[in-house]
């Protein structure tokens, strides 16, 4: 199953097992005391990780909060035996890739996936690579595959094995520059918008980029265009960030003069071109934090983070609103509830590990190579 092994707790007698259905029937606030009690019993043996897009009822119990890579690194640097990742599948996989052998990663709800990561399936990516080689699309200049952090472990491994690496939204440009210095062409997976925005910011024109559609023959692109392109973008996107539209920016400009528009680079190119600034979740937070009192921001990213920023910076005299009034919710992240967290922790207290995420060792090896190359870029940037 995509190089991923799921280890479920053994079936217990009805009177002993912590049954999830029993928890899901209870109200959210009834879980607070139970979560706190379980965490106290587990002590330093367990850390709870909460992604920025996670709901407030869950993230308030997190030992660490941040984006996916920051959380994975933080967890791997602790001595905790259990990492309870309140995020989505690819994040838990990354944590397992970076974890030490005796550490175990747990995803409270296995249904918490990522639609973007699911848009690049390993068989499709391998077919794409073979087609590019068969058509001579590399043109003798070489091609390097790069993948966004928001991808499955086997996609990370695919890139690692073929000389590529992983990137985050904050270091995508550094990754593109690294690849451009080594090859004449880049295959970027799976988010076309982050790839397009990054390449364009580097001065690569839109007509030197093409989009590979895995459901069409040869990606739906003529061989001559593939040979001429500097960047081949996979046809994938974030279902949350793609909902932001240019007219949302226009509305803010019209109704809120002077308000700064800050969006995530997973948004459409047309939206990013109209924005005042682009940034990863960490950069968006930093921009608002550094802004003077009286500043106002319309933010194009997931609604839980925007609401949290509004509450945090409002008392400091800064106004934060969502770019889209209808709100953009990461529904898969939202699947992890206080009930799932309580169920996971109380099972650990009883000595049962549920929903363990364990990446196949062969996949882990090459995925780690791709992640380590990304870390090397970060070191080189600091030295420059």
| Nearest residue to 259 (alpha-carbon basis) of 301, 200, 199, 322 | 322
Secondary structure element (H or E) that encloses residue 123, with its range: helix 122-134
Q: How far apart are CA 289 and CA 336, in angstroms?
A: 28
| Domain 18-111+333-351 bears CATH identifier 3.90.1150.10 | no
Whether the pLDDT of residue 33 is over 70: the answer is yes
Q: 83-128: per-residue pLDDT in tens?
A: 999 999 999 999 999 999 999 999 999 998 888 999 999 999 999 9
Could you check whether 18-111+333-351 and 241-329 share the same CATH topology?
yes
Bridge partners of 46?
Answer: 82
DSSP string across 51-98: ETTS-HHHHTT-SEEE-HHHHHHHHHTS--SEEEEES-HHHHHHHHHH
Q: 256-296: per-residue pLDDT in tens?
A: 999 999 999 999 999 999 999 999 988 999 999 999 999 99
Bridge partners of 322?
Answer: 299
Arithmetic mean of pLDDT over the chain? 89
- Better pLDDT: 91 or 6: 91
Domain 241-329: CATH superfamily is NadA-like (3.40.50.10800)
Coil vs helix vs strand at 152: coil
What pLDDT is attached to residue 67? 82
Token pair for residue 131? Answer: 């087609």
Percent of the chain with pLDDT over 90: 72
What pLDDT is attached to residue 139? 65
**Counting Cβ atoms within 10 Å, is residue 307 exposed (0-12), middle (13-18) or buried (19+)?**
middle
Helix/strand/coil (H, E, C) string of 157-222? Answer: HHHHHCCCEEECCCCHHHHHHHHHCCCCEEEEECCHHHHHHHHHHCCCCHHHEEEECCCCHHHHCC
Query: How many beta carbons lie within 10 A of that of residue 60, not counting itself?
Result: 14
Q: 41-90: per-residue pLDDT in tens?
A: 999 999 999 988 888 899 999 999 888 778 877 877 888 999 999 999 99
Sheet strand arrangement including 104-106: 4-7, 356-359, 104-106, 82-86, 46-51, 64-66
90 with 155: CB under 8 angstroms? no
Residue extents of the structural domains in the chain:
18-111+333-351, 120-236+366-383, 241-329
Q: State the pLDDT confidence band at 378, using cuts at 50, 70 and 90.
A: low
Q: How far apart are CA 150 and CA 234, in angstroms?
A: 13
CA distances from 27 to 24, 31, 86, 342, 349 (A): 8, 7, 19, 12, 22
Q: How far apart are CA 90 and CA 79, in angstroms?
A: 22
For the structural domain made of 120-236+366-383, what CATH number should be given?
A: 3.40.50.10800
Query: How many beta carbons lie within 10 A of that of residue 331, not counting itself?
Result: 10
Whether the pLDDT of residue 384 is over 50: the answer is no
């Amino acid at each position: 199953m995509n190089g991923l092994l799921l280890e479920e707790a053994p079936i217990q007698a009805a009177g002993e097992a912590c049954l999830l259905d029993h928890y899901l029937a209870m109200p959210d606030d009834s879980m607070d005391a139970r979560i706190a009690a379980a965490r106290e019993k587990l002590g330093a043996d367990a850390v709870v990780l909460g992604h920025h897009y996670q709901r407030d009822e869950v993230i308030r119990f997190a030992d660490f909060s941040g984006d996916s890579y920051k959380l994975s690194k933080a967890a791997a640097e602790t001595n905790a035996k259990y990492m309870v990742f309140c995020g989505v599948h690819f994040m838990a996989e990354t944590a397992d890739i970076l974890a030490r052998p005796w550490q175990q990663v747990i995803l409270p709800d296995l249904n918490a996936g990522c639609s973007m990561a699911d848009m690049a399936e390993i068989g499709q990516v391998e077919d794409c690579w073979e087609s590019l080689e068969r058509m001579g699309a590399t043109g003798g200049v070489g091609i390097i595959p790069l993948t966004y952090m928001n991808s499955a472990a086997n996609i990370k491994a695919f890139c690692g094995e073929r000389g590529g690496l992983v990137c985050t939204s904050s270091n995508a440009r550094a990754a593109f520059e690294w690849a451009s210095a080594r090859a004449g062409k880049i295959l970027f997976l799976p988010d076309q918008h982050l790839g397009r925005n990054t390449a364009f910011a580097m001065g690569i024109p839109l007509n030197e980029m093409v989009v590979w559609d895995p459901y069409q023959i040869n990606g739906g692109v003529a061989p001559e265009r593939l040979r001429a392109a500097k960047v081949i973008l996979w046809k994938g996107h974030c279902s949350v960030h793609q909902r932001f539209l240019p007219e949302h920016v226009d509305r803010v400009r019209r109704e809120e003069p002077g308000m700064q528009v800050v969006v995530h680079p997973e948004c459409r190119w047309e939206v990013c071109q109209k924005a005042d600034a682009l940034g990863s979740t960490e950069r968006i937070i930093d921009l608002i934090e550094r802004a003077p009192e009286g500043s106002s921001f319309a933010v194009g990213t997931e609604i839980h983070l925007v609401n949290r920023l509004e509450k945090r910076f409002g008392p400091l005299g800064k106004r934060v609103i969502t770019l889209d009034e209808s709100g953009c919710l990461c529904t898969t992240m939202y699947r992890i509830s206080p009930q799932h967290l309580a169920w996971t922790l109380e099972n650990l207290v009883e000595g049962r590990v549920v929903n363990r995420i364990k990446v196949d060792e062969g996949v882990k090896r090459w995925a780690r190579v791709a992640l380590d190359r990304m870390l090397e870029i970060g070191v080189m940037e600091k030295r420059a």
